[in-house]
Structure formats: structure tokens, C-alpha cells
Amino acid sequence: MYKNHAMKKKLILIVKNKHLKDILDSIPSNCILVKVLTGIGATHLEIITHRHSIIIEPNVPVIKGKKKKHKGKILGVHEGIYLPQIVSYLKDPKVTYKKIMTTPESFHKVKEAIAEVGMDMYQEFFLMFDECDRTSKDVDFRTDIILPMEDFFKFESKAFVSATATIPSDPRFKNQNFEILEVVPDFDYAKQLDLIQTNNPFAALKKLLHEDITVKEDEQIFIFLNSTVGIMSVIEQLEIQKQSAIFCSSNSAEKVKSSADLTVHYDIDERKFKKYNFLTSRFYSAVDINVVTEPHVIMLTDLKIAEHTMIDPYSDLIQIPGRFRGIDLASLTYITNHDTEIHYRTPNEAKAYLNGCKETYKTIQSLRDVSTNDGSKETLTEALNRISYARFVKDDGRLNYFMVENYLQKEELKSHFTDPELLRNALRSEHLTKQFTLNTKDYLVALDSFYPRVKGVKNYIDIVRSIADRLDDIYSPTPEGFFIDFKEEALDQLKKKHPDVIDAYHKIGKEQLCKIAYSKKHIADAIVKYDKEHTGASNYDFLDELNSTFSTNEFYSTEMIRSTFRSLVEKYNLPYCNKKKYMTDFSRFFRLSSRTSRSKVKGHVILERVFN
């Protein structure tokens, strides 16, 4: 039921710096062209081939980019392009060979226009489905991507094309005698890939940018992260708003908080690039990115943001560096964390799960079909439409093979991110060792990554509670063996963005803060009330002894400050709610320098008193 059908395979050799047009006169019909290499000109070959062509591309930026590159040679069809424009192009006698490039969702307009001008689409046009692996990869969240497939098999001449093509399970490919045509490079094409596995991708990214790679003044950095909210958080934490540009879909752009210092774009335009360029999955494949200096390319997965930030090692990881045309990369890095609690099914378990769902679905269907009661029929029909297996069944009752492939692929993908070794094993597979020369690093950070505004958090009190949990982590003891101590930096970031929350955390305590923090005003009122009850002015003896014990412009060890402050707090029985966090409470009375060392002893210099 869920198996890929064996197909004949033909290998064609390609030498370095050559393109498909150098080894093929045209793309053969009824083939799955596995390019292996990105950027070897499959689309270009079809555009220059003497025949009418319909080329299906996964999204609009690809079409706009190809149209710009092949000026006057193609008609791009997508949202905003209407039937009269297509008809006019088809009727133009100056265009000998019609070359139409369309998104899957706009294919119906092309079909209607061709019929209107009296042409036989299935006989007269070659249909090329570019980046064909997207049909199964994206169909779970973009169901219309497979709309052209019913027409696809009616074409006399057609092909599936991708550098990362998978062998489809739809039996119609085998029934129509499809063959695999695989390009075999006769040279070493592996790229150097640095894999950084960490519990804190943001900290690892910051270390990479500031310490591990050397970025020249004229070089640009391209960061691929499939979350606009995650991108915004990274930009804010790195404080690079004016130096950054975001490239995403128009729908995703609406989620990005407007900023006068930040630019958001829907299409690739080299003139819009900045020092830091962030791109979502809309730009993982098919598009051409042309730059004049060797770029630093960084791919980022952070499961603290969302599972959909996962980079598929067998497709995304190959496609992303392939976006950069005719130029080497200054560096190529993939940063990721893992989650041992991700639930996934092995291939056999996933197939067994689908079989079980199918049997149950068929049982309900049979009950519905033999029922003579209208209420029963209606209820069972509603049940069929609502159960999760319904997404694997088309409206006409046939199995949706692309949705099945999507499910199996997603389960396998999740498995790679449950353990660092599983991802490394995938990257060491025979297929991927041809693509990458792998260099692995492990960055163990004292804190996990933190994004208080992601994963659907909307209520202010939820954000405050997540910050309070973060403060607990910051103030807890750091286990031995951590490679990067990120706690001071993390605390500084929180102080800049949420000073009132931190102040309240130390004054009224986490428990009370999490109860009252429905708005900033609630927190401000709680702080004012606390200050009235516990300011230094209400306990002059404590304040006098504190000021006489510690002098300005003097260095004191951290341990001396803690122990002395603790003894004074206990002596005067002060009602602090967080007595384990004495350094933070101490800083309410003195302005301190950054932590420094004297004779190998860590501590602070007291710069000035807050209360005189």
C-alpha cells in the first residue's frame, strides 16, 4: 500500500562547469530527472528547447526571478495575472514557442486560457514540474500544491525534476512507464559543512558570528530560519535591526512587528540585501540568489521556537547552499538543538499506523453505506470527514499518495532531532557524504534558548511567567562541564527589555509576580507598594551599617558581598522574598562594576551608593 514502485534508472555523466544543455538536447518525457546538483540549468534547458512548455514552480519568487533572468522569453502566471493576459500571450504570433511558468495554484488559469485559444494542452505542451519533491514535502500545509497532478498524467510529454527528487509512490508513475534519469557528477562536489549541535542555538549563533567566523566588511550573512517570529527575536537579541533584512511570504510578514529600522521583502532582490539577511522556507529551493562576494550561509533549527524550523538533511540542507549561483561560499554552517521528547514513529510503525487508520476508516465507511437511517448516515459521514485519516483520502475516495509520503517523511525527519547522534548518522550516510564534508562541534550552554513571544504566547501574564522561569534558571547553580556560560548575557538582555518584571521578581517574589502580572500597570503598582513598605528610608540602622561596611571605589569579592549582605539581612530581619539572590538585592543599594578579578578572586568594584 505505501511503497515506492521500482523504476528503471539511467545514469548520465556530467563534468565540472557543464550544464544540462551540454549533455541533453531536451528533458525526456516520462522521466523523473534527479539532478543531484543544484544550478545545472534544468529550467534553462526547458526554456530554450523548441517546444511549447508549461513549467510549474513552487512559489512566486522563483517565477519572478526566472522571468527577470530570461527577459521576454517566458510568461509568469501567479496571483495577480489574469486570463486575458495569458490568452494574449498565447495568441502572440511573435512567440514561436510558448513558455509559461506558473505556480500550482494558478495552473487552472493556464489550462483555461489554452482551451480558450483552441490548443490541445495535453498534446502540444510539455509539462515540467520543477522542484517536484515539494509536492510531498509541502502538501500537509499547502494542499493546493498537488492540484495539477490530475492533469499531469494526461500530458503526452511530462517530467518531474529536482536535485533532491524522491521516488513517488503514486502507481500512475509506474503505470505510465516513468524512468529515473539521474545526473552523476564525475568530480568531487562536496561542500565543507560545519554542524554545531547545542542546547542553545541562539547562543551558538552569537558565538559563531562574533568569534568563530571572520566576516569581512563587504561580506554578507544569510541566515535561513523558518519562523518570522523567531527571526524577529534573534534580530532583537543581536541588536542588528538596522543591519538586517527579512525575506518571507506576505502572510508571514503580517506577523512581523513593524519597525522603522527593519525591512521585510517578499521577493529576492539583490539590491535589498543588507549585512544580515534572514530567509524563511519560501526561499529554501528553486530561487537564484546572486551576490558578488562569497557569502556566509547559516541554517538554523531551534525546536524551542517550533518543529517546522527543522532542516531536512536530504532536501533543505542540499537546496539552501545551492541558491547561491556561480560563487563559492565563505562558510556553511548548520546550528541545531534536539529534543528527546519528540514523538515519532519508525517507518514500520508509521505504515502500521496508517494501515490501522485505513481499516477503521473503511469500517465506518461500510457502516455508513449500509445504513438506512438518515441520522445514522449523516453522523457516520460527519465522522469520516472529521477523523485524522480523512486527510489521506481525496474527495473521490482515492488514496492521496502525496499526503502519505508527507506523513512518512515527516516522521523520519522528526527522528533525526531526538538525538544528536541520529542527525550525525544521517549526514554520514553515503548519499550525504557526497554532498558534504562534515565538521562537527558541540556547544553546551549554561542556559537553553529562550523566546518568550513564540509558540502562540499572547497574554502578557504568560510572557511574564516565562520570564520568571527564565530567571529561576539564570540564578540556579551552573553544573560543571558547560562550555559557554551565557547567564550574565541572558540576564542583561532581560534587564534591557523587561526591567520592571525583573525588579518585581526580586522584590515581591516569583509566586506573587505570576499571580498579579496581568498588565504592566499591575506590576508597577506592586513595585510601588513594596517600595513604600521596604525602602531603605524605613530602616536607617540597616542602611547606616551597610554603608559603613562597604566603601565606594573599593573591590570586594563576590563571596564577601554575599555573606556580609546575608548576615545584615538576617540581623535586621528584612522581609526579602528571594533571600538566595543576594547579589541582585545588594545591587539595589549600590551601583556595581561588571564582574572582574583581583588576585584571581572574582568580585565587583562599588561605584556609588544608591541611598546616602
264-308 tens-digit pLDDT: 998 898 899 999 999 999 999 989 999 999 999 999 999 999 999
Q: Is residue 468's pLDDT more than 60? A: yes
**Residue burial 592-606, b: 16+ Cβ < 10 Å; e: rest:** beeeeeeeeeebbbb
368-413 tens-digit pLDDT: 999 999 999 999 999 999 999 999 999 898 999 999 999 999 999 9
Give the integer Cα–Cα distance in Å for 522 and 520. 5
Select from 225, 227, 138, 142 the least CA-distant residue to 407: 138
pLDDT of res. 3:
56
For every residue of 191-230, DSSP letters joined together read EEEEEEEES-HHHHHHHIIIIIS---TT--EEEE-S-HHH
Give the integer Cα–Cα distance in Å for 516 and 534. 19
Identify the CATH homologous superfamily for domain 9-185: P-loop containing nucleotide triphosphate hydrolases (3.40.50.300)
* Residue 214 pLDDT grade (very low, low, confident, very high; cuts 50, 70, 90): confident
326-337 tens-digit pLDDT: 899 999 999 999
Give the integer Cα–Cα distance in Å for 480 and 522. 39
pLDDT top residue among 259 and 503: 503
CA distances from 526 to 52, 236, 467 (A): 72, 28, 17
CB atoms within 10 A of CB 574: 13
The residue ranges of every structural domain in the chain are: 9-185, 191-341+417-443, 347-397, 457-473+482-525, 535-612
Please give the average per-residue pLDDT across 227-242, as a whole number. Answer: 90
Determine which helix (DSSP H) or strand (DSSP E) holds 537, and give its type and residue range.
Answer: none
Q: Among 165-179, 442-456, 495-509, 571-585, which is the least confidently predicted range?
A: 571-585
Q: Among 92-106, 343-357, 586-600, which is the least confidently predicted range?
A: 586-600
pLDDT of res. 38:
95
Topology (CATH) of 191-341+417-443: Rossmann fold (3.40.50)
Q: Is residue 76's pLDDT more than 80? A: yes
* Residue 536 pLDDT grade (very low, low, confident, very high; cuts 50, 70, 90): very low
CB atoms within 10 A of CB 20: 22
Please give the average per-residue pLDDT across 511-530, as a whole number. Answer: 89
Beta strands in 350-499 (DSSP E): 436-443
**Residue burial 370-396, b: 16+ Cβ < 10 Å; e: rest:** eeeeeeeeeebeeebeeeebeebbeee
CA distances from 467 to 225, 428, 491, 493, 517 (A): 23, 39, 10, 11, 11
Per CATH, 9-185 and 191-341+417-443 having the same topology is answered yes
Helices (H) and strands (E) in the chain, counts: 26, 20
**Residue burial 414-433, b: 16+ Cβ < 10 Å; e: rest:** bbbbbebeebeebbeeeebe
In terms of C-beta density within 10 A (0-12 exposed, 13-18 middle, 19 or more buried), how is residue 527 classed?
middle
Q: Is residue 534's pLDDT more than 70? A: no
Residue 376 amino acid letter: S
pLDDT of res. 482:
60
* Residue 246 pLDDT grade (very low, low, confident, very high; cuts 50, 70, 90): very high
404-457 tens-digit pLDDT: 999 999 999 999 999 999 999 999 999 999 999 999 999 999 889 888 766 554
594-612 tens-digit pLDDT: 888 888 888 889 988 877 6
Give the integer Cα–Cα distance in Å for 449 and 470. 10
Please give the average per-residue pLDDT across 86-91, as a whole number. Answer: 97
Measure the N-to-C terminal CA separation of the chain; round to a whole number of Å. 81
Please give the average per-residue pLDDT across 569-593, as a whole number. Answer: 73
Phi, psi of 362 (to 5 degrees): -65, -35
Give the integer Cα–Cα distance in Å for 314 and 66. 25
Q: Among 117-131, 432-446, 557-571, which is the least confidently predicted range?
A: 557-571
Q: Among 24-38, 59-73, 576-590, which is the least confidently predicted range?
A: 576-590
Q: Is the whole model's pTM more than 0.95, yes or no?
A: no
Grid cell of 86 as nine digits:
495569458
**Taking phi first (over 0 means left), then psi (-120 to 50 degrees means alpha), and beta for anything else, what does residue 30 get?**
left
Give the integer Cα–Cα distance in Å for 269 and 273. 7
Beta strands in 118-271 (DSSP E): 125-130, 157-162, 179-185, 191-198, 221-224, 244-247, 263-265
Q: Among 263-267, 341-345, 429-433, 541-545, which is the least confidently predicted range?
A: 541-545
Give the integer Cα–Cα distance in Å for 432 and 603. 50
